[in-house]
Amino acid sequence: MAPKEIRGRIGSFFQMFYTIGIFTSYWVDYAVLQRISPHSPSQWQIPIALQIIPAGLLGFGCLTLPESVRWLTKKGRHDEAWTSLQWIRADSSSSTMEEMEEIRTGVEMERHATEGLTVKELTERQNLSRLGTAAAVFTAQQATGATAFAYFGPQYFKLLVNGSAAKNLLLTAIFGAIKVAACGFFVLFLSERVGRRQVLIWGAVFMAACQISTAAVVKAKPPPAKVGDGGVTSSGIATVALIYLFVIAYNLSWGPLPWPYVSEIFPTRIREIGIAVGVSSQWLFNFVFSLTTPYMITNMGWGTFLLWGLFDAVIAVFTFFFLKETRGLSLEEIVHNDFEEVRDHKVIDVEDNGK
């Protein structure tokens, strides 16, 4: 549905609304903690029940959506496809008609492009490279440590300041607000103005610096042994600030960018499979780090921050050597550039193969 001029921005909206959901949940939890006795089952029942509201709105909202233009075109329902495109673009001018023709042409080319696709093709050098890149990018997104912070914020802030439950949850709620502000700034003002590759490199470098610095401070000056003993120390304030800077860097880089980046690196023939591989990798490692993070916090302490920092440093190196720039290029140009590179290295001979 998205024109290439704003494809990066639209793709990044996934992360934007993800952060809004996290932000909302933190403040709901904080309000419930403040207002309801910790011994009451309502303290967990209310946050769970409130999730029914956005789910219901989403379900009813979907009833108002017309079917996908491309899907309708694939099925030969061209009149309905034209009606759907007019609704999506809120326009029926000649430019929209030209886009409709481009979609019809594209769908026909896609049909020919995906005909006879076999598993063996996925193991060809370029296809395997793209699949590996997609999996690696989304694995890296989870390995930054940001998702672990989102899920276990109060436990992390306890490592930093050893405050009361309310204080730890308040710090986490502020963490959520910063996530929304940083991601919103990126989506609205930066997503189509900066190169994908450079932002991913420097985002990882900055996150590594924040995490490793946090580990060093917590090791050198750990928080008070007793909960709330002596209030928050200057070292505690410094580490909280470093984590807030970390989450700003994440939401200006590795939070929103993997979504549009991975969708751009595949040719039509294997795009659906490629994106599925990437997103599956994301959820696999989301599960892995969600499962292991509580044990890391308990057993490693300050070493948890060091581990995330080292992961971020490795991610920066990986990005520098293996990821290519895709901003401002059409999907066809990105694939063509890869094809030319393969030809230049004589992996295939274009003329002999007739392809």
* Predicted confidence (pLDDT) per residue in 241-265, tens digit: 999 999 999 999 998 888 888 888 8
Find the mean pLDDT for residues 112-140. 85
Phi–psi pair at 329, nearest 5 degrees: -100, 145
* Structural domain harbouring 301: 125-353
Give dist(CA 194, CA 186) in Å, integer: 10
CB atoms within 10 A of CB 45: 12
Q: How far separated are the first and last CA of the chain, in Å rounded?
A: 30
Give the residue, 136 or 112, on which the prediction is more confident.
Answer: 136
pLDDT at 88 over 80: yes
pLDDT band at 349 (very low <50, low <70, confident <90, very high): very low
Would you state the pLDDT for residue 328? 58
Task: Report the mean per-residue pLDDT for the chain.
Answer: 85
Instruction: Give the DSSP H/E element, type plus range, for residue 55.
Output: helix 52-62
pLDDT band at 202 (very low <50, low <70, confident <90, very high): very high
pLDDT at 199 over 80: yes
> Is residue 102 included in any domain, yes or no?
no
> Is residue 317 included in any domain, yes or no?
yes
* Structure tokens that stand for 23 in this block: 């932000």
Would you state the pLDDT for residue 126? 84
> Is residue 207 included in any domain, yes or no?
yes
Smallest CA-to-CA distance from 307 within 232, 215, 201, 188 is with 215
Number of domains in the chain: 1
Give the residue, 192 or 339, on which the prediction is more confident.
Answer: 192
Q: What is the DSSP string of 186-252?
A: IIIIITTTS-HHHHHHHHHHHHHHHHHHHHHHHHHSPPPSSTTTTS--HHHHHHHHHHHHHHHHHHT
> Is residue 167 included in any domain, yes or no?
yes
Find the mean pLDDT for residues 312-321. 95
> Is residue 155 included in any domain, yes or no?
yes
Would you state the pLDDT for residue 354? 43
* Structure tokens that stand for 256 in this block: 């929103």
pLDDT at 132 over 50: yes
What percentage of the chain carries pLDDT values higher than 70? 88
Q: What is the DSSP string of 163-188?
A: --HHHHHHHHHHHHHHHHHHHHHIII
Is the pTM value of this prediction over 0.85? no
> Is residue 325 included in any domain, yes or no?
yes
Q: Alpha carbon of 200 to those of 8, 139, 278, 323, 355: distances in Å?
A: 14, 14, 17, 9, 34
> Is residue 48 included in any domain, yes or no?
no
pLDDT at 15 over 80: no
Give 12's contacts (C-beta < 8 A, 6+ positions apart): 183, 186, 187, 191, 256, 257, 259, 260
> Is residue 33 included in any domain, yes or no?
no
Q: What is the pLDDT of residues 216-243, one digit of tens each?
A: 999 999 888 776 555 678 888 999 999 9
What CATH number should be reported for the domain holding residue 162? 1.20.1250.20
